[in-house]
Amino acid sequence: MEDATINRVDLRLNNKEFYKKYGRKKIISTYTLGCKVNQYETEAMEQKFESEGYETVPFNQKADIYVINTCSVTTMADKKSRQMLSKAKKKNKDAVIVAVGCYAQVAHEKLKKDAVADIIIGNTRKNSIVKLVEDYICKKEKTNLVDNIHQVKRYEDLWISKVNHKTRAYIKIQDGCNQFCSFCIIPYTRGRIRSRGMEDTIHEVQALTENGYKEIVLTGIHLASYGKDLEGASLSKLLERLSSIQGLKRIRLGSLEPNIVTTEFVSHLITLKKVCPHFHLSLQSGCNATLERMNRKYTTEQYLDRVQMIRNYYKEPSITTDIIVGFPGETEEEYQQTVSFVEKVNFSSIHVFKYSKREGTVAARRKDQVDGNIKHERSQHLIALGEKLKQNYINGFIGYKKKVLFEESIQLDNKAYHTGYTNNYIKVIVRNDQNLENSIQRVDLKIVKNDMVLGNLLQ
């Protein structure tokens, strides 16, 4: 923003008057912390501002209004959320600072005392953000607009028609969680499960497909619970409906709880050819005693049964997961059980997290917290194992001919390359001078190069 003297009184001007006075639109800038659900919501809020005549700019530029979509999954996420709010204020002391999302939901009283954020919204009313900001500027609304999330029963409608990613669109279809894992604050920040209507989801995916997107990724706070609060809806039924959309080439699933994997579910999925053979099944620990302390709703035996079920139907699917190391009470023996289980499942990739105490959760109150150095050692060891398993999985596809959805061009050694992903999420790189972006091409997979596979285009 070139003119830093603009104050909030001038922001009351309608868009036409503001443009006449300053020769530009009102400027909005956003910053997202946390998960893919947050990213989707930020994009939806940005597009609401743009539809009302605002201009969006990157966060490193000056703006009239800053919207920070906060996260509270860990104590570090809380800290980062506060830091980004302060950073926005330093960029323009006259700007309107808006805190939305999970940290704003659970820490609104603290944010009110800090007095950095002008507007605190939480995890509801995001679809009304433009009006809430404009009402605040005109001094018509109070600043703390955080609702009791446990009383929210309906899914909040949000909509996108484009995404920053050029080929793949993340679609939020579910909110809230009823699981109450002992380490997790999310049920307190997002409330109980709420599912998006099937027709609304289909309409959005159709619009995105018409705008050129070939792949969608379905996301949610607890995706496996989709449809449980709706009559006649389920994840399987939604996938079937989405598969019939012309022009849509791929449907990828976000993180799933293993208990959704049943013979009925997988046998139906295998008939839907657009659904990618890539399953991220949340594990967290390979030790039953630890899983029980975590309040997870399955055993390692049940988990392994679900993985085998998928492999019975799909040839060489990608099975990925999350692991938490150093959970309170985790002994060396329990950790080694996790290592052995990870090897037994033979994941194609794992995401490793060191347990982080989150105040307000059951696990944070436990007295048997694991030493930080031990958590670090276990994390490093498991990350190394994960890299080994990933390389083994990728190596298994050398010599295969796979379809790749190309996403972007890059320069390596002053030569043009293009990168993209197979349906089972192997990153592929090819040497080509043509523009392959957003096209699906058959590639002969030749050589593993770091975490990618170098291949040749097939005619």
Confidence of residue 241 (pLDDT cuts 50, 70, 90): very high
Q: Distance between alpha carbon 149 and the CA centroid of its chain, in Å?
A: 20
Nearby residues of 65 by Cβ (< 8 Å), 6 or more positions away: 11, 26, 27, 28, 29, 49, 54, 95, 96, 98, 133
CATH fold of the domain at 10-147:
Rossmann fold (3.40.50)
What are the tokens at 186?
């999310």
Q: pLDDT tens digits for 122-149?
A: 999 999 999 999 999 988 666 888 999 9
Is residue 283 pLDDT above 80, yes or no? yes
Are the C-beta atoms of residues 204 and 160 closer than 8 Å to each other? yes
Are the C-beta atoms of residues 104 and 92 closer than 8 Å to each other? no
Nearby residues of 452 by Cβ (< 8 Å), 6 or more positions away: 419, 427, 428, 429
Q: How far apart are CA 436 and CA 438, in angstroms?
A: 6
Average pLDDT, the chain: 94
What are the tokens at 204?
């959005």
Q: pLDDT tens digits for 156-200?
A: 999 998 887 678 899 999 999 999 999 999 999 999 999 999 999
Is residue 154 pLDDT above 60, yes or no? yes
Is residue 5 pLDDT above 70, yes or no? no
User: Which residue shows structure tokens 């997870």?
Assistant: 296
Are the C-beta atoms of residues 397 and 425 closer than 8 Å to each other? no
Is the Cα torsion angle 37, 42, 45, 47 positive or negative in sign?
A: negative
pLDDT at 1 (0 to 100)? 41
Q: Is the whole model's pTM more than 0.85, yes or no?
A: yes
User: Which residue shows structure tokens 């998928």?
Assistant: 310
- Strands (DSSP E) found in 71-125: 96-101, 119-122
Q: Distance between alpha carbon 311 and the CA centroid of its chain, in Å?
A: 26
Q: How far apart are CA 10 and CA 442, in angstroms?
A: 55
Query: What's the whole-number mean pLDDT along residues 72-76?
Result: 91
CA within 13 Å, CB half, 140: 8
What are the tokens at 387?
């890299």
CATH fold of the domain at 168-395:
pyruvate-formate lyase- activating enzyme (3.80.30)
Are the C-beta atoms of residues 323 and 281 closer than 8 Å to each other? no
Q: How far apart are CA 453 and CA 169, in angstroms?
A: 23
> What are the phi and psi torsion angles at 435 (to 5°)?
-85, 110
Query: What's the whole-number mean pLDDT along residues 62-72?
Result: 96
Is residue 3 pLDDT above 60, yes or no? no
Confidence of residue 260 (pLDDT cuts 50, 70, 90): very high
Query: What's the whole-number mean pLDDT along residues 59-74?
Result: 95
Q: pLDDT tens digits for 352-375?
A: 999 999 989 999 999 999 999 999
Q: pLDDT tens digits for 306-331?
A: 999 999 999 999 999 999 999 999 99
Percent of the chain at pLDDT above 70?
98
Q: What is the maximum span of the chain, computed from C-alpha positions, in angstroms? A: 70
Buried b (16+ CB within 10 A) or exposed e, 44-72: bbbbbbbeeebebeebeebbbbbbbbbbb
131: left (phi over 0), alpha (psi -120 to 50) or beta: alpha
Q: Give the count of beta carbons closer than 10 Å to the beta carbon of residue 38.
A: 21
pLDDT at 142 (0 to 100)? 67
Q: How far apart are CA 412 and CA 122, in angstroms?
A: 44
Q: What is the CA radius of gyration of the chain?
A: 23
Query: What's the whole-number mean pLDDT along residues 192-220?
Result: 96
Q: Which of 87, 169, 162, 85 shows the shortest CA–CA distance to 121?
A: 85
